[in-house]
A and B are shown apart, each in its own frame.
Chain A
Amino acid sequence: MSDLILDVQNLQLHFSQRRGIFGRERAVVRAVDNVSFQLRAGETLGLVGESGCGKSSLGKAILNLHRPTNGRVIYQGKDIAGLTDRAMREYRRSLQIIFQDPFESLNSRHTVSAILEEPLLIHGIGDRDSRRKRVDALLDMVGLPSSASSKYPHEFSGGQRQRIGIARAIALKPTVLICDEAVSALDVSVQAQILNLLLDIQRELHLSMLFISHDLGVVRHMSDRIAVMYLGQIVEIGDAQAIYQQARHPYTQGLLAAIPKIGHTPEETSQIGGDIPSPMAPPSGCRFHTRCAYAQEKCKAEVPSLTAKDDRHFTACHFWEELIHSA
Chain B
Amino acid sequence: MSLLSVQGLSVAIRGDDGVLHELVSAVSFDIAAGETMGLVGESGCGKSLTAMSILDLLPKPQALRSAGTLSFKGESISSASPRRLREIRGKNIAVIFQDPMTALNPVQTVSQQISEVLAIHFPEQSKKCRADRVLSLLHEVGIPAPQERLSAYPHQLSGGMRQRVMIAMALACEPDLLIADEPTTALDVTIQAQIVRLLKGLQAKNGMAMLFITHDLALVSQVSDKIAVMYAGKIAEYGSAQQVFAKPHHPYTQSLLAALPGAHHPPKSPLLALEGQVPAIQDMPKGCRFVNRCPHAADICREEIPPQDITTDATVVACHRWKEIAQ
Contact = CB atoms under 8 A, between A and B. Distances in A.
B271 A196 contact: yes
A25 interface: no
Given A240-B267, A276-B188, A191 B216 contact: no
Contact of B193 (A190, A218, A266): A266
A12 interface: no
A222 B39 CA distance: 29
Contacts of B245: 262-263
A261 B262 CA distance: 9
Interface residues of A, number: 45
Given A50-B189, A189-B256, A266 B196 contact: yes
B18 interface: no
A260 B216 contact: yes
Contacts of B267: 220-223, 240-241
B33 interface: no
Interface in B234-278: 245, 255-257, 259-263, 265, 267-268, 270-275, 277
Interface in A26-65: 50-51
B189 to A, nearest CB: 4
Given A157-B277, A193-B273, A275 B158 contact: yes
A255 B192 CA distance: 11
Given A189-B255, A271-B193, A214 B188 contact: yes
A76 to B, nearest CB: 24
B275 A260 contact: no
A192 B196 CA distance: 26
A255 B190 CA distance: 6
Given A217-B260, A260-B216, A192 B271 contact: yes
A282 B103 CA distance: 30
Interface string B176-216: 00000000000011111110110010000000000000011
A262 B217 contact: yes
A237 B203 CA distance: 39
A192 B218 contact: no
A255 B189 contact: yes
A254 B190 contact: yes
B14 to A, nearest CB: 22
Interface string A251-288: 00011011111111111011111011000000000000
Contacts of B151: none
Interface in A179-205: 187-193, 195-196, 199
A159 B277 contact: yes
Nearest to B231: A189
> Chain A contact residues: over half helix, strand or loop, or mixed?
helix
B86 to A, nearest CB: 33
B17 to A, nearest CB: 18
Nearest to A189: B274
A269 B259 contact: no
How many chain B residues sit at the interface, stated as a range, is 35 or more
A228 B266 CA distance: 21
Interface in B18-37: none
Contacts of B217: 188, 262
Contacts of B43: 187
Given A187-B42, A260-B216, A267 B197 contact: yes
B204 to A, nearest CB: 11
Given A262-B217, A271-B197, A189 B273 contact: yes
Given A189-B274, A191-B259, A266-B223, A259 B189 contact: yes
A161 to B, nearest CB: 12
Given A188-B256, A217-B262, A258 B189 contact: yes
A275 B157 CA distance: 10
B161 interface: yes
Contact of B275 (A51, A193, A195, A264): A193
B84 to A, nearest CB: 35
Which of B189, B217, B256, B267 has the largest number of chain A CB atoms within 10 A? Answer: B189
A255 B221 CA distance: 19
Contacts of A214: 188-189
A192 B188 contact: no
A238 to B, nearest CB: 14
Question: 5 tightest CB-CB pairs across the interface, nearest first?
Answer: A221-B261, A192-B273, A187-B42, A192-B259, A189-B274
29 contacts: A51-B188, A187-B43, A188-B215, A188-B217, A189-B273, A189-B293, A192-B271, A193-B274, A195-B261, A196-B273, A217-B260, A217-B261, A218-B261, A220-B261, A220-B263, A220-B267, A221-B265, A222-B261, A255-B190, A258-B193, A261-B218, A262-B217, A262-B222, A262-B257, A266-B200, A269-B193, A271-B190, A271-B193, A276-B158
Interface of B: 42-43, 158, 160-161, 188-194, 196-197, 200, 215-219, 221-223, 245, 255-257, 259-263, 265, 267-268, 270-275, 277, 293
